Amino acid sequence: MQYALVNGIKSAPKKGIKGVCIDCGTDMHAKCGDIKLHHWAHRANENCDLWWETETEWHRNWKNCFPESYREVSFFDVLTKECHRADIHTPEEITIEFQNSPLSISELQSRNAFYGKIIWVVNGLKFKGFQLGKPIPDPTDPALKDFEFEGDIHLRFLRKSTTKLVTVFHPDIKAIKLSTQHYSFAWKHPHIAWYSSAAPIFIDFGGHFLYWLRKKQQHTISDFHYLQLVPKKEFIKHYIREK
């Protein structure tokens, strides 16, 4: 945890100080060594949030992009008696969770239901068998209303009226401008839960951009997943309320 209460004040860990958990009120130990991130740990080696995972430098860097008042905001469910800490919770009641490890579909659904308005930022550097493709036409372009998308990085298009598959080199497709914001991808070992999420998923591969996992709903063939480029600075700015 990044914060505990020290004399009633939300505080970062410092060597030698004592704190208590903001949620359960038990004693916390400030871990301030030379190897791991400085953090607070429950003295009983337990965590009162069952959804807690070890915080990495990737987590901490993301959380530090937001005001301190947004970080580690806790919620208690009076029915289930569960307490959970949102990585980020904005004044607009939007939760942003930074996820470093895979989740099952049931875990993802539980968290989406608990927080309501939630956005996920996922560490894509840990994905296995992931390959970013080339730019594609904007799937929402009206010029493509008579086509459906098929494939991954080897993209083809299905003309609805004839059920005939054509490539990007077909004259009707070639005439449509490629988008600099939309990309195909291939994922050999996908985390299925992210495909099923009703909440927005943004993938972080490092660098200055996020990749928003989008889905084009289709009727003739299965839905098509693609990525939309989003600058990190714009993403962060969008969720920080201007004073």
pLDDT tens digit sequence for 102-116: 999 999 999 999 999
- CA dihedral sign, ordered 189, 201, 182, 240: negative
Examine residue 66 and state whether it is found in any structural domain, yes or no: no
| pTM exceeding 0.85 | no
Kindly report the backbone phi and psi dihedral angles of residue 161, in degrees, each rounded to the nearest multiple of 5, phi listed first: -75, -25
- For β-strands 164-167 and 156-159, DSSP reports them as antiparallel
Q: How is residue 188 written in tokens?
A: 């050999």
Q: Which domain holds residue 39?
A: 1-48
Task: Please say whether the beta carbons of 166 and 210 come within 8 A.
Answer: no
In a domain, 150, yes or no: yes
167 belongs to a structural domain: yes
Are 57 and 80 a contacting pair, CB within 8 Å?
no
Residue 1 included in any domain: yes
Q: pLDDT 10s per residue in the chain (243 long)? A: 777 878 787 888 888 788 887 777 677 778 887 767 777 777 765 667 677 777 889 999 999 999 999 999 989 888 877 888 899 999 999 999 999 999 999 999 999 999 999 999 999 999 999 999 999 999 999 999 999 999 999 999 999 888 889 998 899 899 999 999 999 999 999 999 999 999 999 999 999 999 999 999 998 899 999 999 999 999 999 999 754
Q: 48, 67, 86 — which closes off a domain?
A: 48
Query: Is 169 inside any structural domain?
Result: yes
Assess if residue 178 is contained within a domain.
yes
Q: Is residue 182 part of a domain?
A: yes
**Residue 234: inside a domain:** yes
**Domains in the chain, number:** 2
